[in-house]
Structure 1
Amino acid sequence: MSSIFGIFNIGKLALFANQRALSVTSQNIANINTPGYSRQDPILQSTAPLDGTPGQIGTGVQITDIRRVFNQFIQDQLTSQQSSLGRLDVEQGTLSRVEAVFNDGQGTGINQSLSEFFSALHDLANNPQGMAERNSLLERTRMLASQFSTANNQLEQVQKDLNAEIQGVIGEINTQAAQIADLNNRIQQAEISGQNANDLRDQRDSLLSSLAEKIDISTIKGDFGQVTVMAGGKPLVESRAYTLRAVADADNSGFVNVVFDSGNGTTTDITSSIGNGRLKGLIDLRDNLIPGYIDQLDRLAAAIVNEVNQQHQAGFGLDGSTGNDFFSPLAPTVTGFSGNTGSGSVAATVSNPAVLTFDPYRLTFAGGNYTLQNLTTGASTTAAYINPTTITFEGIQIGMSGVPANGDTFDISAHQGMAGSIALSGIAPNQIAASAIAGGVPGNNGNALLLAQLQEKAVAGLGGASFHDFYGQAVGQIGSHSQSVQRSLKAEKVINENLTQQRGEVSGVSLDEEAANLIKFQRAFEASARLISIADELLQTILEIKR
């Protein structure tokens, strides 16, 4: 009797084991198209045998584990690689917008307007007394200023859009960090109780990959499936999720910095510590790339204003006037740092336009002295501060007054904002200085010719380039950068595809394999049921004998 009941038990265990194996196979098939799903395998093992004569006899089968078919090294590589993909993808998209700003392919834009401006000057030189030529020059000048303003506004809008996207990405990071922390807790609870957490681990790995696309992360494995996530040198996920905040920076046009909130009242700015990911790309584009292109437009606009005004002041209009500016004159900007605590005041004007460099300057007060430094060349001057003080440095006159505090800092620029503010000075058509001499013979075009020749002049403030060459260099840099990013993105996508394929070869679900498993476990299930039926028939036979 015990042997027959043993057969019953073996059949029952086999029935349960194969039924569970069929469930695992069904789960694999159901998730064949689920991103990040890892195939699961039922691990079958014989149960403990019983001692007997002539030897031990088996007692059945059981599923000891449902194994997640997974390669941690490949997954870590795939997760890490998402950061480069995220950064390059946002760079490519933004550079496409920037290229459109500088694209003169439709016969419009700064380069075309600049050519038409100088063409109008040549027309004026050919007929210096013509009012039609003078009015045409003024109209072409307004068009040139409009093109500069449009390009500047478009780049500033790109910068604002990037700032808004940074805030959005920070919110997404916080959401995913909270989800990872929740999965950490659920995985821990499951595995402490002896359960596997395969599906939960898959979900967490998918979230980690998505998070890595936004910000470069590192992970530290802990007990019971716990993962600590580090970002920017700070823990983003430990036993709980921490929060990143978008905090406006008064010294950066009010754009936001990325600040880590510890939750205990202390915060840390980690903007400069973010090394990769979409967030890194957005920050670099907003704070470095776009300002660089705006600065190039400002330099070009300032150089045009400076060179044309100098030459125009030397000529004479039809009304005999001289010394007039053609464009509104340069107005150097002074920007005090938000952390300044003193009552010092700083103002700047152009003292010698012939030696302007269009480099950025920084004025710092410390120990009773002031230091003015050219941030491009490093040239500087230092002296004791006496209230008030006026100095002249590289064509800029700077007036200082009041009581600045130790460490107070001011940035000074002769060209900042010129692309957005370049404009005619309000000069009348008969005041355009085409003549090179006062009271010259009618039709004198000496100064108009000199103005037209500025088109080919090597301008010191533009590194020795002409206006057209400087603009062409800027366009070339944008195109070269865009091509470089496209090549890098293409290479990263190939790497990503290879890693994804490797992961699929290890963890992916094969329909053919799962179909074979279905048949295998189905047949085993049917055989187990038949075994129980046979055991029942044996038992009935024995019971009939006793009757």
Structure 2
Amino acid sequence: MSSIFGIFNIGKLALFANQRALSVTSQNIANVNTPGYTRQQAIFSSTPPMNSAPGQLGTGVQITEVRRVFDQFIQDQLTAQQSNLGRFGVERGALGRVEAVFNDSDGVGLHQSLSEFFAAFHDLANNPQGLPERVSLMEQARTLSANFTQMNDQLRQIRKDLNTEVEGVLGEVNTLATQIADLNGQIAQVTISGQNANDLRDQRERLLQDLAEKINFSSFENDLGEVSILIGGKLLAESTASFTLRGVVSQDNAGFADVGYDPGTGTITDITSFIENGRLKGLIDLRDTILPGYINQLDQMAAAIVNEVNQQHRAGYGLDGSTGNDFFSPLAPTVTELSGNAGSGTIAATVNDPSLLTLDSYQLTFAGANYTIQNLRTGSSATAAYVDPTTVTFEGIQIAMSGAPANGDTFEISAHQGMSGSIALSAIDPNEIAASSTAAGVPGDNSNALLLAQLQEKEVTGLANATFQDFYSQYVGEVGSRSRLAQRSLLAEQVIDENLLHQREEISGVSLDEETANLIKFQRAFEASARLISVADELLQTILAIKR
């Protein structure tokens, strides 16, 4: 009798096992279109055998585990790949906006206004005493200045927008960290109960990919299935706890936010330098390096035009006999005190000799009893003992130092910073425009107007020995080249991502053909199990009939 009941039990276990396998197959089929879903597999194993003569007899089957079918290596690669997509995606978008700033296709851009500005000097040279030509030249100068200012404003607005996006991404990162920590707790509870948290793990993998698109991180998993996330060695999420990234005021980048790590202890640590990939990295590079570089070049070009035109204009004479007048408002060097300076030194800078200006940036550093002024592009420098007050002239800039600077105090000095946003026609009237090279104002003397017009073809030291037009063309070409590079890089990363997705789908994706075959297989096994129970029942009824 026990062997017949054993058959009943084997049939019952087989029914339960195949029913559960059918449920797993049904879940796979139902989620065939669910993004990030990982195919699940019911793992069958025999139940412990029963000792019997002449040997052990099986006692049935059971589902020991419902397992996610996946390759952790491919999953890790796919997650990391999202950081590349995030970075190049944001670069492509922002550089497209930058490229539009330099679009001269409508004939009203900087290239055109620069040509028309120097053409106005040629017109003046053809009629040096003509009032219409003088008024037209001033209007062309105002148009050129307005174009510079407009481009400066547009580039700075893009930079502000990037900063706003940085703040937004930090908020998204914090939300994802909280959600991942919450899933950690749920996964741990399921793991403690002896089950596999398959669907919860799928949800967490999707969140980890979303997080990777925004910021690079490293992670590891503990025995309970909880994942810990680190950025620059700082925990963003651990078990059910999450920590916060927030924008903090940059010390050397006024008005913009660095990335601060807030563990909730009251101390915020700057981790900007640890952001190495993802959308956030792309935004920070664009905001802090690429856009400032473009603005700097625009400033250099505006400053070079101001410096060259003013030098030549001051050498000539107006119709009223005046000389030494600036055509544009003169250059006004800027001095920036770097964060961390501890002393009370005061630095002021003025243009001493315009002909010696390189339009580079300089760094003034105090070390002990000495100071050093260095050209940040060429590396040329000068060092001397500091005595309060001290005045030094370096590459056309006069620097006045006073007060008590501390050891290590650093200042940055520039003759061109901000010029594309402040270039403007000086307060001269048409009669003061210096078309003549002689004080007597000989009628028809156009020699200085010709020299001013010829500046268009001059190779300018402050522009790496390029003409204004050539420098601008190289500048625009660099913008376009970087934009195309970002586009190509994004396309290449998308191909890699698609390949990884394909590899993942081959292993973890749901195949309807395969699941249909499994459905039939488990259905037949279920039917056979039911038939087994029916046979056992018939055997039992036969035995009972004999006894009656």
Q: Partner amino acid for 1:92?
A: R
User: 1:525: Cα distance to partner?
Assistant: 2.1
Q: Partner amino acid for 2:29?
A: I
Distance in 1 between residues matched to 2:219 and 2:403, nearest whole Å? 53
Q: Partner amino acid for 1:236?
A: L
Q: What secondary structure is seen at the aligned counterpart in 2 of 1:120?
A: helix
Q: Partner amino acid for 1:8?
A: F
Q: Partner amino acid for 1:101?
A: V
Aligned residue in 2 for 1:352: 353
The worse-fitting range, judged by mean Cα deviation, of 97-106 and 219-228 is: 219-228
Aligned residue in 1 for 2:232: 232
The worse-fitting range, judged by mean Cα deviation, of 396-405 and 74-83 is: 396-405
Given that residues 319 and 441 in structure 2 are in contact (C-alpha distance below 8 angstroms), is that contact kept between their aligned partners in structure 1? no
- Normalised to the residue count of structure 1, the TM-score between the two structures is 0.96
Distance in 2 between residues matched to 1:288 and 1:376, nearest whole Å? 16
Distance in 1 between residues matched to 2:251 and 2:78, nearest whole Å? 38
Distance in 1 between residues matched to 2:462 and 2:293, nearest whole Å? 16
Distance in 2 between residues matched to 1:4 and 1:404, nearest whole Å? 99
Distance in 2 between residues matched to 1:369 and 1:273, nearest whole Å? 34
Q: What secondary structure is seen at the aligned counterpart in 2 of 1:250?
A: coil
Aligned residue in 2 for 1:219: 219
User: 1:195: Cα distance to partner?
Assistant: 0.7
| 1:358-399 Cα shifts (integer Å, max 9, x gaps) | 111122233233222211122222222222222111111111
| 1:258-310 Cα shifts (integer Å, max 9, x gaps) | 12223334432221122211111111111110000000000000000000001
Given that residues 457 and 467 in structure 2 are in contact (C-alpha distance below 8 angstroms), is that contact kept between their aligned partners in structure 1? yes
Q: Partner amino acid for 2:537?
A: D
Could you tell me which runs of 5 or more consecutive residues in structure 2 were left unpaired when the two chains were aligned.
Answer: none
| 1:90-126 Cα shifts (integer Å, max 9, x gaps) | 1111111111111111112111110110111111111
Aligned residue in 2 for 1:26: 26
Q: What secondary structure is seen at the aligned counterpart in 1 of 2:66?
A: strand
Aligned residue in 1 for 2:184: 184
- Change beyond 3 A, Cα 1:56–1:422: same
Aligned residue in 1 for 2:286: 285
Aligned residue in 1 for 2:424: 423
Distance in 2 between residues matched to 1:76 and 1:163, nearest whole Å? 30
Aligned residue in 2 for 1:305: 306
Q: Partner amino acid for 1:187?
A: I
User: 1:49: Cα distance to partner?
Assistant: 2.4
Distance in 1 between residues matched to 2:371 and 2:23, nearest whole Å? 78
| 1:422-457 Cα shifts (integer Å, max 9, x gaps) | 000021111111111112321211111000000000
Distance in 1 between residues matched to 2:27 and 2:428, nearest whole Å? 80
Given that residues 170 and 246 in structure 1 are in contact (C-alpha distance below 8 angstroms), is that contact kept between their aligned partners in structure 2? yes
| 1:64-94 Cα shifts (integer Å, max 9, x gaps) | 1111111111111111222111111111111
Distance in 2 between residues matched to 1:97 and 1:418, nearest whole Å? 22
Given that residues 321 and 441 in structure 2 are in contact (C-alpha distance below 8 angstroms), is that contact kept between their aligned partners in structure 1? no
Distance in 2 between residues matched to 1:254 and 1:135, nearest whole Å? 40
1:73 aligns with 2:73: yes
Q: Partner amino acid for 2:325?
A: N
User: 1:338: Cα distance to partner?
Assistant: 3.6
Given that residues 232 and 275 in structure 1 are in contact (C-alpha distance below 8 angstroms), is that contact kept between their aligned partners in structure 2? no
For the aligned residue pairs, the C-alpha RMSD in angstroms reads: 1.7
Distance in 2 between residues matched to 1:126 and 1:514, nearest whole Å? 87
Q: What secondary structure is seen at the aligned counterpart in 1 of 2:252?
A: helix
| 1:331-356 Cα shifts (integer Å, max 9, x gaps) | 11111224333332211111100000
Q: Partner amino acid for 2:103?
A: N
Distance in 2 between residues matched to 1:312 and 1:385, nearest whole Å? 37
Could you tell me which runs of 5 or more consecutive residues in structure 1 were left unpaired when the two chains were aligned.
Answer: none
1:91 aligns with 2:91: yes
Q: What secondary structure is seen at the aligned counterpart in 2 of 1:51?
A: coil
User: 1:189: Cα distance to partner?
Assistant: 2.4
Distance in 1 between residues matched to 2:67 and 2:343, nearest whole Å? 67
Distance in 1 between residues matched to 2:406 and 2:57, nearest whole Å? 92
Matches within 5 A, 1:157-196: 157-196=157-196
Q: Partner amino acid for 2:313?
A: H
Distance in 1 between residues matched to 2:317 and 2:266, nearest whole Å? 67
Given that residues 258 and 270 in structure 1 are in contact (C-alpha distance below 8 angstroms), is that contact kept between their aligned partners in structure 2? yes
Q: Partner amino acid for 1:372?
A: I
Aligned residue in 1 for 2:325: 324
User: 1:54: Cα distance to partner?
Assistant: 4.3
User: 1:494: Cα distance to partner?
Assistant: 1.1
| 1:21-52 Cα shifts (integer Å, max 9, x gaps) | 11101111111111211101101122222233
User: 1:58: Cα distance to partner?
Assistant: 2.4
1:527 aligns with 2:528: yes
1:8 aligns with 2:12: no
Distance in 2 between residues matched to 1:539 and 1:179, nearest whole Å? 57
1:256 aligns with 2:257: yes
Aligned residue in 2 for 1:82: 82
Distance in 1 between residues matched to 2:533 and 2:503, nearest whole Å? 44
* Fraction of identical pairs, as percent: 71
Distance in 2 between residues matched to 1:324 and 1:144, nearest whole Å? 19
Given that residues 336 and 411 in structure 2 are in contact (C-alpha distance below 8 angstroms), is that contact kept between their aligned partners in structure 1? yes
Distance in 1 between residues matched to 2:268 and 2:13, nearest whole Å? 58
